[in-house]
Homo-oligomer: A and B are copies of this chain.
């Protein structure tokens, strides 16, 4: 197989050197695997030829971007070929007049936006890992980010995909027109399929003009329920903030401990808002949000300049750091995180998470995108301590139980991978059988990223 792979990409872009293979054995989770070969393709045609080899030898094949994923999604848990897609990182077309761009999947999210911004546009789905994640990874995981409350997820910004199927056939889904009702929506089927159905080699993206201005504001609340009520009222009022973040008492406490100079009062809940658009409507919306938050018992503060914006947002940015810094010797594990519940159930869910933490003797720090019901729970443990892992899994089970009982979702934006695979059947019931039948129809040998999503 090694020689056949070399014949496709040349000797420079395929390796089986143990040192190099090691670098491809993990992502940002605790899942580990072992690749037999790493190949660095430069074109869809090369990917197609490599996939044909994988099919011929019945060998797993896993596409990998920056491996910033949190679920083991790009980890070669069953060995085989890892496709390092980072060499396919070009912007192939930029048609601002059609509000679209065609990219290769290995482009770094931030670099795409750096280029678009020059033309007055941006690609709205904004994962926290923008600096390092590839757009291909974002597509594979059906990801989004802080601004999805207004701008939606990656599913709303892909017009079409070029995909290499297990057969080696290259298909094009979708079209160049802004909307279509032509046949099954393969584009959205491949988005979020985590490489289990095919390898994305090109994506036609919708891009969006940059807003004229934005404004940042904070509201603090003595009771988490009041923050929840305020968030719901803001959305029902017709205001659609660009971002609406929540931090509960656990998160506020953590960041205050980390940086006592932070101007965050000692409260039970904090909402952070970003509003964008025309100057006039931003002014209007900031006013509306203040009124609503105050009616719900909140204290509001609007940033008057860039510097104040930075300071208001500092607390939110520090949460991630605080989780590990406050637990010396421990590291954050991305388990029991990334849940989605109906918006109005967010306060209930936040309280439940604290209750579950106390039950299992673990300190949990929770924050998230309340505008779309998406919460992230931070847990720091000593990953060599088996007992701690056991408690993590108990916490995860309990949290997921509550989420599913509310009709919510796991995951909301980070994908399933390995770490949530065991929950798929419970989350989807017989719908999971439908997913498996689709997987079998498209990839009968199960060579495409096997093991992920329980496939």
Contact = CB atoms under 8 A, between A and B. Distances in A.
Contacts of A18: none
Interface residues of A, number: 95
17 contacts: A95-B342, A120-B236, A177-B373, A180-B340, A181-B409, A181-B411, A181-B412, A182-B416, A182-B420, A184-B189, A184-B193, A185-B185, A185-B192, A209-B236, A211-B238, A281-B281, A438-B442
A344 B222 CA distance: 52
Contact of A183 (B182, B341, B374, B424): B424
Number of copies: 2
Interface of A: 95-100, 120, 141-144, 148-149, 152-153, 155-156, 165, 169-173, 175-186, 188-189, 191-193, 197, 209-212, 232, 235-238, 277-278, 280-281, 283-285, 340-344, 371-374, 406-416, 420, 424, 427-435, 437-442, 453
B97 A344 contact: yes
Nearest to A140: B181
B236 A99 contact: yes
A412 B179 contact: yes
Contact of A181 (B98, B192, B432, B441): B192
B177 A341 contact: yes
A194 to B, nearest CB: 9
A153 B175 contact: no
Contacts of A408: 175-177
Given A155-B188, A434-B442, A176 B342 contact: yes
A182 B420 CA distance: 9
A318 to B, nearest CB: 25
Q: What 8 pairs across the A-B complex have the smallest Cβ distances?
A: A177-B340, A176-B407, A142-B181, A209-B238, A280-B280, A441-B441, A180-B409, A281-B281
Contacts of A437: 441-442
Contact of A153 (B179, B210, B342, B435): B179
